[in-house]
Structure 1
Amino acid sequence: MEFFSPLPLTQAEQKLLESLRKPPHLRLIPAARSLSVKVTEGRAQMPSKPCSRIHAADTWHLAQPRGFMLHGHWVRTDCATGRLDAAMERACLTNTTLTFAGDSTLLQFFTDLVPRTGCALLEAHVHNWHRPRACVKPDTGFQMSWALHAYPVHPVSDHWALKTDFREVTDLLDAIPADGTAAHNNDGVRLQDGNVLHHQQHQQQQQTQQQQQSQRHRHVVLISLFIHLSIHHVNVFGQRMRAVRMAVERLLERSPSTLVLVRGPHTAYHGWPPHLGGDMMGPVIREIIVEEFRPLRDKVVYLDFWDMTVAMENSNFHPDPPINTAMLNAMLHHILKYLTVKETVSQKLLKYRRHLKKESEVPFCPRPILQEVR
């Protein structure tokens, strides 16, 4: 990342800032020391309520810890994560538009979801890391997109991102249509050259199907603002998050069925220059997000990854693959719902497999759990 360095500071101010950056102590207990643990009371009772059934308001409670590491996997103690099945994921993401609005940590989500959903990439003929991305699967009506948020943003000049490709989060939210209208066509992600025509061809193929299924099409939005804004004054982040919250209010007013998720900050030790203090602004940013979205707690899901990244010893501001997978699975549990009154998981999978063979019906995945009455 490209930050201002050196800063226009006095020697005393520079020394103060550098003193804030401490070498991380990831392990307080030396690895060479052996520990003996004796369990006398048996195993603790694990939660039985699936994470997919947690109400949106409950995700804003910041009690910690919410889980623990076991054999390299994150186990939640506030809900039962269950098993994510690839066929189930694809079935429940049918007729769904997934919009990632934020920084490159969401690009990690996008990249990992491509093989899991089986969608086809639509990209501009440029090689910038922060180039806009889109991915579609016309036969199931699934599509997703990612675009880098607007200023303040700090890519390393144009070889990382064209400045014309920055997209304000509020603009992406305002581009999502109202309930009952045609599916969102990812106009918020500007693809260049031949991909525009390629994208239009996919849209034409989907037009008839969209007209028939528009009443059932769902929109899911994930918002993440942290890394690039962490080096600015907290007022800058507060103003930006307030604008985002107002855009979310407008979105939910015209499209109440849209599922909105807000991703909180995560721990990271590497990636920032020493004088910027690393992730020390994370807890402050976390509090600002929670306070700003207080009026929408019963409608918006908060993804809190702070304790997860502490337990999993995350070091980089782009989380390592196992950590990113754990984060992505946590998000999917809020999008997918395993059971309904009328259909069991096996019935949904049977529908989906029939669809793959005959392409004669579209599997139904219920609306997000936040639309249900507690």
Structure 2
Amino acid sequence: MGETAGITSVRYSTFYIIDAQRKYQICDRLDIIIEARDSTNKSKVNGGDYIRVRIYNNDFKAGASTDGEVVYLGDGNYKASFTLRWVGKSFVRVILVHPAEAVNVLRRARDTCPTRYGYSGRFTGKIGKKSVVEDTLCNVIPPVPNATICDLTRHAIAEPWFCTAPTKTNLTCSDFAWTCANKKFSAALFKPAMTKQEQTLFKGQKQPIPVRGINFVTVTQQDKNISSPAHCFNERLPPCAVGSHSLSNPMAAGYFFKGHWYSNYCRLRNFVIPSSLKCLTNKTLYFHGDSTSRQYYEYIVKTLKSTLKPNPPTLQSNWKVGPSLAEDKVNNFTVHYRHHGYPIRNNWTDASEVKYIEEALDELKATPNTVFMFTIWAHLTTLNMSFYEHRVRRIKAAVERLHRRSPETLVVIKSANTRSHGSAGSSVTVSDWYARELDMKLREIFKSYDKKIGFIDQWSMVVGFSNVDAIHPGQGIISSGMRTLLSHICPEA
């Protein structure tokens, strides 16, 4: 990447801090300009590069993401802005996740390939006394053209699932029993999404863009005679509650300082085990989604292990997808985890245990002591945007139905996060560009309802926390997310 004329190159692209030498104070705005150039040192005038920027100070264990997205200004220039949050040095790091040409490939793949990942279905039964098994291909669209298809769609919620019908045995569509990811089928699906030449665009991903000048500013304490925005100091914020996080506000969700997450929207409480147990007494928590939601279930079980004991249902076929249950009989609360429904990129899972978020919400016996947190992104990056939008709008409608039954039930959404993708194949299926596009679509759909829900902006957390991208963020991120959740459940001591 960067050696072909016309392709954005980190060798010649640079960034600089506007007014790097001025005296900055807490709450001041910091602006960064990124100049994108190709391998011939020509300005990239068309825009479209996927660039990520953060400020940080490793000595302070401090970091923050941008206020809003990186904006293209024209003539090859981009702008990123921050609100300065800590006294001392704030360093700037800019990375080119994908050049514009790679983004164009990803967008075309998403828009022209309905799915870029494949799955298997297992049909089981008996012929006489003999057990019979047959595996076929499955997907959210009929997986094989002109083949006989089993339509396994949940028509009540319009969530599609199709498998090729068994042909080698006398099994029928009603014998569908198990589901699993199929890597060989997946490779056949995403391989046509790009040419060999286009694959070279994904070499050396997430490369830092060098600075022109100095890469930091020094921040001093604010003059007491100068007023500042109310959101700039955490102690002035209101306690966290439903509607605290505006999904249409471009301000960063928060920042890390001394390894501690501070929200820019509401005042988070500090929780230790006694206060956590007090907060959760008589509560029922549901975590639905992918493995980044399961991390919250596992974190709370591990943290409160003295009284909270896992008790998975006997039918559970795969701990990665649930259903899982943990109970605290001393403090009278329970915690549940379940996957969000097809598509599921995990090991063999009992199809009878698959339940969509919409179904779970509609079946929920909700009370004011019920908390429902969900996330929906990681397994859907391989699908086109219309599929994702359909799914999220149906979830939103189910949340609205829930609140008509039980207005005080707390619903919290957890956003997407970054992950590693080191090859062309992984990029065309799970690139951060896809994840961020889904995340922004979810925020757009729910922004008209954000006064009635809680929101955990894990994207801002992981970008601000470190330079490491992982599908399963470390404990520092999960503990910050859990603290945000508990602050919504129990905003006051």
The answer to whether the superposition gives a TM-score over 0.5 is yes
Matched, 1:113 2:294: no
Q: How far apart in 1 are the matches of 2:454 and 2:402?
A: 15
Q: How far apart in 2 are the matches of 1:11 and 1:234?
A: 16
Q: How far apart in 1 are the matches of 2:445 and 2:206?
A: 30
Deviation string, structure 1 residues 83-135 (Cα, Å, up to 9, x no partner):
21321111121111111111111111001111434322111465643332101
Letter in 2 for 1:334: H
Residue equivalent to 1:198: none
Letter in 2 for 1:132: P
TM-score normalized with structure 1 length: 0.70
2:251 paired residue among 55, 58, 64: 64
- The alpha carbon displacement at 1:319 in A equals 1.2
* Alignment check: 8 A CA contact 2:417 2:462 kept: yes
Residue equivalent to 2:362: 174
1:167 is paired with a residue of what secondary structure? coil
1:273 is paired with a residue of what secondary structure? helix
2:462 paired residue among 302, 309, 312: 309
Letter in 1 for 2:344: V
Residue equivalent to 1:207: none
Deviation string, structure 1 residues 218-269 (Cα, Å, up to 9, x no partner):
1110010010001111111111111111111110000111000111111222
Matched, 1:251 2:402: yes
* Alignment check: 8 A CA contact 1:47 1:80 kept: yes
1:163 paired residue among 332, 351, 358: 351
- The alpha carbon displacement at 1:10 in A equals 4.4
Q: Closer, same or farther in 2 for the Cα pair 1:133/1:40, shift >3 Å?
A: closer
* Alignment check: 8 A CA contact 2:361 2:399 kept: yes
* Alignment check: 8 A CA contact 2:247 2:446 kept: no
Matched, 1:221 2:410: no
Letter in 2 for 1:121: P
Matched, 1:91 2:278: yes
Matches within 5 A, 1:1-374: 3=183, 4-7=186-189, 9-10=191-192, 13=195, 15-16=197-198, 19=201, 23-25=205-207, 38-42=218-222, 46-49=233-236, 52-56=239-243, 58-117=245-304, 118-124=307-313, 128-155=319-346, 157-158=347-348, 161-179=349-367, 218-270=369-421, 273-276=426-429, 278-313=431-466, 314-338=468-492, 345=493
- The alpha carbon displacement at 1:312 in A equals 1.4
1:84 is paired with a residue of what secondary structure? coil
Deviation string, structure 1 residues 124-182 (Cα, Å, up to 9, x no partner):
46564333210112333211101111112211x31xx3333322111111111254xxx
- Residue correspondences, number: 297
Q: Closer, same or farther in 2 for the Cα pair 1:10/1:312, shift >3 Å?
A: same
Q: Closer, same or farther in 2 for the Cα pair 1:84/1:147, shift >3 Å?
A: same
- The alpha carbon displacement at 1:2 in A equals 5.3
Q: Closer, same or farther in 2 for the Cα pair 1:80/1:140, shift >3 Å?
A: same
Q: How far apart in 2 are the matches of 1:316 and 1:36?
A: 26
Matched-pair identity in %? 21
Deviation string, structure 1 residues 178-235 (Cα, Å, up to 9, x no partner):
54xxxxxxxxxxxxxxxxxxxxxxxxxxxxxxxxxxxxx5111001001000111111
Q: How far apart in 1 are the matches of 2:379 and 2:335?
A: 23
* Alignment check: 8 A CA contact 1:100 1:146 kept: yes
Q: CA RMSD in A?
A: 3.1
Q: How far apart in 1 are the matches of 2:198 and 2:354?
A: 34
Please identify the structure whose Cα radius of gyration is greater: 2
1:256 is paired with a residue of what secondary structure? coil
- The alpha carbon displacement at 1:41 in A equals 4.3
* Alignment check: 8 A CA contact 2:253 2:457 kept: no
Q: Closer, same or farther in 2 for the Cα pair 1:92/1:279, shift >3 Å?
A: same
Q: How far apart in 2 are the matches of 1:35 and 1:13?
A: 38
Structure with the bigger percentage of strand? 2
1:293 is paired with a residue of what secondary structure? helix
Letter in 1 for 2:459: W
Q: How far apart in 2 are the matches of 1:11 and 1:136?
A: 46
Residue equivalent to 1:210: none
Q: How far apart in 2 are the matches of 1:171 and 1:256?
A: 18
Q: How far apart in 1 are the matches of 2:198 and 2:413?
A: 33
Q: Structure 1: which 5+ residue stretches go unaligned?
A: 180-216, 339-344, 346-374
Structure with the bigger percentage of helix? 1
1:91 is paired with a residue of what secondary structure? helix
Q: How far apart in 1 are the matches of 2:269 and 2:209?
A: 30
Q: Structure 2: which 5+ residue stretches go unaligned?
A: 1-180
2:482 is paired with a residue of what secondary structure? helix
Q: How far apart in 2 are the matches of 1:316 and 1:90?
A: 30
2:386 is paired with a residue of what secondary structure? helix
* Alignment check: 8 A CA contact 1:17 1:277 kept: no
TM-score normalized with structure 2 length: 0.54
